[in-house]
């Protein structure tokens, strides 16, 4: 029984929960950091945190090809159903559901959520997954918010945080987020995709190691970390 996290560059991630593949914010086409392509990746579920193009990405095509169930907020799910995606599960912020792979709750995120065609995408979300006795928090695109402390009270094994700045938390606020969340392990994402969000990830990792008890795992796109 294992949970493996794979980062595909930007915010595109896979959580393999005992063989069930949860693909998160699948942005492959046009993502200069991607190490695989939308026509090759496998998925049983596709989690979409918010409506922006670098997160919805290839989700419609992958859902249609794989038959994966899309999980997102109600407004984004309406949009996917309008695009002919057959299997979808709408939730909303604060709400959790016992899926076959585990209990998944949508959490608040401080960001936008307009869909690529301008459709209303509701409010952006993060994800809190309880599976196999482990708790994993994907902050997704967000600024720092004080209620990360409440999420930390859950007792996190892993937190995945954006550090790229400009569109999301930068390194300073992501370090403060680690202090609020107090995860055992932390993985940085949403940086170095483009020059605008280039960061010195090793410098950030050193600061996290010096100032918190979290273990930082800096992956190269395509690399995995097993909890
Ligand atoms: Ni975004
Ligand atoms: Mn983004």
Separation of CA 124 and ligand 2 centre (Å): 11
For β-strands 3-7 and 224-226, DSSP reports them as: antiparallel
Residue 225 lies in a domain: no
**CATH number of the domain that 102 lies in?**
3.60.15.10
Range(s) of the domain holding residue 197: 3-210
Residue 46 lies in a domain: yes
Q: Which residue has the tokens 């409010």?
A: 123
**Would you give the distance in Å from CA 50 to the centre of its chain?**
10
| Ligand 2 ion: Cβ-proximal residues, 5 Å cutoff | 54, 141
Residue 9 lies in a domain: yes
The closest ligand to the CA of 124 turns out to be 1
Separation of CA 95 and ligand 1 centre (Å): 21
Q: What is the pLDDT of residue 219?
A: 87
Q: What is the pLDDT of residue 1?
A: 74
Residue 200 pLDDT > 80, yes or no?
yes
| pLDDT level of residue 35 (50, 70, 90 thresholds) | confident
DSSP letter string, 96-145: EEEETTEEEEEEE-SS----TTS------EEEEEEETTEEEEE--S----
Separation of CA 201 and ligand 1 centre (Å): 20
Residue 220 lies in a domain: no
Q: What is the pLDDT of residue 33?
A: 87
Contact 24, 13 (CB under 8 A): yes
Residue 62 lies in a domain: yes
Residue 107 lies in a domain: yes
| Total domain count, the chain | 1
Q: What is the pLDDT of residues 167-176, one digit of tens each?
A: 999 999 999 9
Residue 219 lies in a domain: no
Residue 202 lies in a domain: yes
């Amino acid at each position: 029984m294992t949970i493996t996290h794979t980062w595909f560059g930007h915010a595109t991630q896979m959580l393999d929960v005992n063989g069930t593949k949860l693909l998160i914010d699948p942005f492959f086409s046009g993502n200069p950091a991607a190490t695989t392509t939308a026509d090759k990746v496998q998925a049983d579920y596709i989690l979409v945190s918010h409506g922006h193009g670098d997160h919805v990405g290839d989700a419609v095509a992958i859902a249609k090809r794989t038959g994966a169930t899309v999980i997102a907020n109600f407004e984004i799910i309406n949009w996917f159903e309008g695009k002919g995606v057959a299997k979808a599960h709408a939730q909303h912020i604060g709400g959790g559901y016992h899926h076959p792979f585990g209990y998944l709750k949508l959490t608040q995120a401080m960001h936008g959520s307009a869909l690529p065609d301008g459709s209303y995408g509701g409010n952006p979300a993060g994800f809190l997954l309880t599976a196999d006795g482990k708790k994993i928090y994907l902050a997704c695109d967000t600024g720092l918010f004080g209620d990360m402390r409440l999420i930390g009270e859950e007792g996190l094994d892993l937190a995945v945080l954006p550090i790229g700045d400009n569109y999301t938390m930068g390194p300073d606020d992501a370090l403060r987020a680690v202090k609020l969340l107090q995860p055992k392990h932390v993985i940085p994402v949403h940086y170095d995709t483009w020059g605008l969000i280039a960061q010195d990830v090793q410098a950030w990792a050193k600061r996290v190691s010096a100032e918190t008890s979290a273990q930082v795992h800096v992956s190269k796109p395509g690399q995995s970390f097993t909890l």
